[in-house]
Amino acid sequence: MIASLSGVVAAAGLVVAGVLVAGSDSGSQPAQSGPKPGTYVIGQFNMAGGTTEHGGKGNPPADALAEEIEDRKPAFVTAQETCRDWDERLEQRLPGYTVLFSPVRNLERNPGTPARCHHPTDFGNTIVFRDGLGFDKDETDVHQLGSTDGDEYREMVCVRAERRKFVVCSAHLTPGGGKYLASRQREVATVRRVLTTRYAHYTVLLGGDINDVPLSRVLGRLYDRNYGHGASGAFKEASSPCGDAMKPERRASGLPRARYAPCRLGQPTHSKGKLDYLFVSPSVRVESSGLSYSEHSDHKQLWARVKWGRGAGRSGD
């Protein structure tokens, strides 16, 4: 049966310039060792199980994601708006991967009851991770983010590889402005506090639908200070247009004055803009990133190729 203590859901691989790239690690490390130094593909995807357009579908969304994972062989994928039956389908289709599902509860409508997809099954967050990397479903934490408004209580689910002090987290934050903005501010503050205190000595990888744009003051609490524009956080954004850099880089423009590329931007992952993110510890080197269209979601899949351990290091400050 699928694990439903905290979260693991879904997706796979990376496309760079139209070329499929898989992680260099084969997943053969001893259990509990943690991901050894190397280059890996990571992914982030909102599966849209809560939408009327996509949430009522049967197996196609899960099958499409499973095919991506089979082809791209990522180390892990974080996912939101996932459905329990979709995750069970993923688990059936993906030998060699563990799928952790973390259900969430309603906040405003029938408070405290399980949230539901737009078909009769539980709704939540997921982390899908490759077996043999040292992650253990028994080393899973679910952090409530202190939501005050919105459809459901927002949470961050994390799975740990204790031996090498790695943690992978999946989070889905409250959308909208007004009173909902205040809830998202509180949620981001909680995410930041948990990642920098509970996991202070871990390599952190956070994937999520943060429901805010890169230059917002709220998101500045996660971006490393070197990104500027009011950033006050501690993390590198793996799908930044600057790649591994945090500070804007001088670019030749042919104009009398040099222009600078803003690093707190990125391609839209939704019709409302860039809402999906892959944040990593500054020690993780970002080699490339890209988006992939999905016909079964209103979000695009976000992929990055990253390197940690020997030969990585902080290059952006």
Binned at pLDDT 50, 70 and 90, residue 9 comes out as very low
Instruction: Please give the pLDDT value at position 35.
Output: 80
Q: Does domain 38-308 have CATH number 3.60.10.10?
A: yes
Q: What is the per-residue pLDDT for 17?
A: 28
Q: Would you list the domain boundaries of the chain?
A: 38-308
Task: Please tell me the distance from the alpha carbon of residue 120 to that of residue 87, in angstroms, as a whole number.
Answer: 14
Q: What pLDDT score does 34 carry?
A: 63
Tell me the CA distances in angstroms from 297 to 62, 69, 141, 301, one per residue in order: 11, 16, 27, 9
Mean pLDDT (whole number) for 119-126: 96
More confident site: 232 or 262: 232
Q: Which amino acid is present at 33?
A: S
pTM: 0.85
Per-residue pLDDT of 90-108, as tens digits, reads: 999 999 999 999 999 999 8
Place of tokens 């796979």: 12
Can you give the C-alpha Rg of the chain in angstroms?
18
pLDDT of residue 33: 56
% of the chain surpassing 70 pLDDT: 82
Q: Give backbone dihedrals phi and psi of 157, rounded to 5 degrees, phi first.
A: -105, 135
Place of tokens 């009769």: 120
